[in-house]
Amino acid sequence: MKREIKFRGKTYSGEWVYGDLKRVNDNRRGGEFYYIWVDTNDVEDEGKYVRIDSETVGQFTGLKDKNGKDIYEGDIGLHGESKRFVEYRWSNFTLTDMGKNNTILLSFSPDFKIIDNIHDNPEFLKGGSDE
């Protein structure tokens, strides 16, 4: 089975960018840096690498939510009455319910609807699923 491999990450100015991920080790500048190739859809300018915050990197799961929106690691969504977040666990993308600390496979969740992500709403990870 083939699926599109792409990533998202947040720039240091707060903008989300989507595309191919590149990790660069640069000991002269202090370690690892992460970039996403952003396609500009311009004939004269093919695109550019944009530096992103490594803490916000998320891989596309290859799945869409019930509204047709791409699902990435770190997304928060509704699964039934529970708020769950997407993570890569046990060699699969899963939905984890922080309130009950249980996990289900994302591939068995066709009614999942994205409402946010853990990077724009980090308090979700602290407060559980009922907030």
The tens digit of pLDDT for each residue in 92-122 reads 898 988 766 778 888 878 899 999 999 999 8
Q: CA 53, 7, 51, 115 torsion: positive or negative?
A: negative
Question: Rounded distance, CA 125 to CA 47, Å?
Answer: 35
The pLDDT > 90 percentage for the chain reads 56
Q: Quickly name the fold that domain 58-127 has.
A: SH3 type barrels. (2.30.30)
* pLDDT score for 130: 47
Q: What is the pLDDT of residues 18-44, one digit of tens each?
A: 999 999 998 887 889 999 999 877 666
Nearest to 75 by CA among 62, 60, 89, 90: 60
CB-based contacts of 27-35 (< 8 A; 24+ apart in sequence): 34/9
Domain(s) of CATH 2.30.30.290: residues in the chain: 58-127
Q: Output the pTM of the full model.
A: 0.85
Q: CA 86, 89, 91, 94 torsion: positive or negative?
A: negative
